[in-house]
Structure 1
Amino acid sequence: MLTITKEFHFSASHVLDRLPSWHPCARMHGHNYVVVLELSAPRDALTEAGFVRDYRELDAFKKWMDDTLDHRHLNEAMGGVSPSAENLAVWIFDLWSERLPELTAVRISETPKTWATYRPAARGGEDAP
């Protein structure tokens, strides 16, 4: 199996309103997010050029991210889903996995020291318990 990744950046605000009111993340705040898409394919499924997928084909994701998430309030952009890093990773995966069938994981960073990764157990199957 061969794997490629590409990193993207956006800035946005959110409120984690399901936390206790004393928690600092229950107040509106923002992050400079890092999103990493991971795409994988078996060696015998590479393109004629030898790619899992041409990185330039990820330009559509960058445009979507800039239009949908950059300098937005994630509580609104995500349609009521609690905008934790974990939920953001799942949300992006679910939105993009049909357009990018090689997508195997989405990683989200809110700070240089924190990451959340969503990697389904198997494509087309249920997540592991």
Structure 2
Amino acid sequence: MFRITKEFHFSASHQLKSLPPEHQCARLHGHNYIVEVELSGPELDEYGFVRDYHDLAPLKRYIDDAFDHRHLNDVLGHDRVTAECLAKHFYDWCKTHLPETTAVRVSETPKTWAEYRP
């Protein structure tokens, strides 16, 4: 199996209102997010690619237009805006547009990652 990944960055705020008020994530706060998309395939195309990285440009536009410098609770329309939920959201978007998508990872901090992989 061949596998490629590409990283995307955005900054946004969120609030996990279902947490106890004393929990730091219950307060409005923000992160510099990293989204890593993984695409896989058993064969390469005629050019030697799983998928041309240029084909991921629509994902960059989607992230820049809908997520960058936004309040994620408003963007996603709910209060469960965790890295895990974001990974699933981006996976679903990518799978629709890039069928080779096999996983999406989201980082909120340099030391933490959440991954959605069916």
TM-score, normalised relative to structure 1: 0.89
Is residue 81–residue 87 contact of structure 1 (8 Å, CA) maintained in 2?
Answer: no
RMSD: 0.8
- What is the aligned partner in structure 2 of residue 70 from structure 1? 68
TM-score, normalised relative to structure 2: 0.97
Moved over 3 A (4+): none
Structure 2: where are the runs of 5+ without partners? Answer: none
2:37 & 2:93 partners in 1: Cα distance? 13
Is residue 15–residue 28 contact of structure 2 (8 Å, CA) maintained in 1?
Answer: yes
Q: For 1:46-99, what per-residue CA distance to the aligned partner results, in whole angstroms no more than 9, with x for missing partners?
A: 211010000011011001100010000000111215110000000111122111
Query: 1:103 corresponds to which letter in structure 2?
Result: T
1:87 & 1:36 partners in 2: Cα distance? 14
- What is the aligned partner in structure 1 of residue 47 from structure 2? 49
2:66 & 2:108 partners in 1: Cα distance? 17
1:93 & 1:78 partners in 2: Cα distance? 14
- Percent identity reads 60
Count, aligned residues: 118
Structure 1: where are the runs of 5+ without partners? Answer: 121-129
Query: 1:34 corresponds to which letter in structure 2?
Result: I
Q: For 1:12-46, what per-residue CA distance to the aligned partner results, in whole angstroms no more than 9, with x for missing partners?
A: 00001111111000000000000000000002xx2
- What is the aligned partner in structure 1 of residue 5 from structure 2? 5
